[in-house]
Amino acid sequence: MGIDRRKFLVYGSASLGTAMLLKACGTETPTATTPPTPEASAGTIKVGILHSLSGTMAISEKSVVDAEQLAIEEINKSGGVLGKQIEAIVEDGASDWPTFAEKATKLIDQDKVVTVFGCWTSSSRKAVLPVFESKKHMLWYPVQYEGQECSNYVFYTGAAPNQQIEPSVDWLLENKGKDFFLVGSDYVFPRTANTIIKAQLEAKGGKVVGEDYLPLGNVEVTPIISKIKQALPNGGVIYNTLNGDSNVAFFKQLQGAGMTAEKYPSMSVSIAEEEVKAIGVDFLKGHYASWNYFQTVELPASVKFVEAFKAKYGADRVVNDPMEAAYVAVYFWKAAVEKAGTADDLEAVRKSALGLTFDAPGGMYTLENNHHLAKFVRLGQVRDDGLFDIIFESKAAVPPIPWNQFVAETKGFSCDWSDPAKGGKFKA
């Protein structure tokens, strides 16, 4: 057999080279047609995008990356930031929390990015938090969360609990009844959210008739449905903080058990346009969701955002609240950098970010001193085409309250980063 190592290397690399050449020919076509932009030669500003592109959370996080890249592309087309093009470095957190911390370190130390847009689950945010705090870096977090956090090194563009959960509970109490059954996935967000809801119901005359938790990914919901029926034989409100696949099973089997949206209206905080599409409109029609933004918001900025997104990613795609928050995050960062006149001095960028306003798809947002956004609260009802009819909209932007006022340990605390003496958690 006449092949030794030297020949192997020669022929192997020759054929690999040919292959690479072919590949290069294949990809060179488009770059040749688009002329290099002058800004690109003047240097770029590197930003990091850190989301799960594989694993359980890829379902949700992939489209957030799409939204962030859309914003970056738009900014680049209109001349970039401080005359420089933005270069996004995308890393995959792989739905694994230690990986998130690792990749965050890599983005900061190796790629020298000036900011990071990333994370979805609270667990991933908690995993990268020490990295950003020790390196005094900057993270933009785009998802609604349970609150109880206010770091100087994170900007939270999703909803705080008082911008999503509390208004929806108030609305339900007024319009749908006083008996609540709480269903949630078994991890930190639903448990915290339900603690808040219970405290709020107690304060306002509602009643929790039952509470149940499903392990993440569990799809056998028969026991829960039996319990809801026992606890609410004549109908009542279901407050749903389930996440991921369990939602699908829950709504499919709810319908199978003959429990309609009229008799058992449910309010969800993790079901947006994308999820409706995945669960099936037939199962969700008539149920409610609470967010800051729906695709059906008719403001000019929203129409523009939806059109741009569909043009880039396909007409059958939808946008949702976390995607909008991620899109907005990129623009807030741009505004902060331009106000500070530098992208590299993070302290200056942080300072100038406070108090900024932006005409976002969801309305005029303000970045408050506690690093959260003042946004509008909206409640939507699922309609035939899988989008939401907006049935309630707060009259003004609701200021964010990260430290929960219904929970004894954090009652009375607030957060203000404009004043170094006050900081992340102080007794007001």
Q: Which residues bind another protein (CB under 8 A)?
A: 1-3, 8, 11-12, 15-16, 18-23, 25-27, 29-30, 53-54, 56, 58-59, 62-63, 186, 211-215, 217-224, 226-227, 229-230, 244-245, 247-249, 252-253, 255-258, 274-275, 277-283, 313-314
**Nearer CB in complex with another protein: 130/256:** 256
Question: What phi and psi, each to the nearest 5 degrees, are found at residue 27?
Answer: -90, -15
> Closest Cα to residue 209, out of 188, 228, 190, 187?
228
What is the DSSP track for 30-59? HHHHSPPPHHHHT-EEEEEEEE-SSSTTHH
Beta carbon of residue 57, minimum distance to another protein (angstroms, whole number):
9
Q: 3-class SS at 208?
A: strand
**Are the C-beta atoms of 83 and 104 separated by less than 8 Å?**
no
**Nearer CB in complex with another protein: 31/41:** 31
Beta carbon of residue 260, minimum distance to another protein (angstroms, whole number):
10
> How many Å apart are CA 225 and CA 133, to the nearest integer?
44
> How many Å apart are CA 195 and CA 201, to the nearest integer?
10
Q: How far is CA 280 from CA 209, 248, 256, 275, in A?
A: 28, 8, 14, 8
**Nearer CB in complex with another protein: 54/134:** 54
Residue 8 CA to chain centroid, in angstroms? Answer: 50
**Nearer CB in complex with another protein: 63/76:** 63
Beta carbon of residue 268, minimum distance to another protein (angstroms, whole number):
15
**Nearer CB in complex with another protein: 27/234:** 27
Beta carbon of residue 284, minimum distance to another protein (angstroms, whole number):
10
**Nearer CB in complex with another protein: 282/389:** 282
> How many Å apart are CA 389 and CA 149, to the nearest integer?
32
> How many Å apart are CA 179 and CA 201, to the nearest integer?
9
Beta carbon of residue 390, minimum distance to another protein (angstroms, whole number):
23
Beta carbon of residue 18, minimum distance to another protein (angstroms, whole number):
6
Beta carbon of residue 244, minimum distance to another protein (angstroms, whole number):
8
Amino acid type, 369: N
Beta-sheet pairing, 373-374 with 363-367: antiparallel
**Nearer CB in complex with another protein: 26/205:** 26
> How many Å apart are CA 73 and CA 75, to the nearest integer?
5
Q: Return the sign of the alpha-carbon dihedral for residues 284, 288, 290, 295.
A: positive
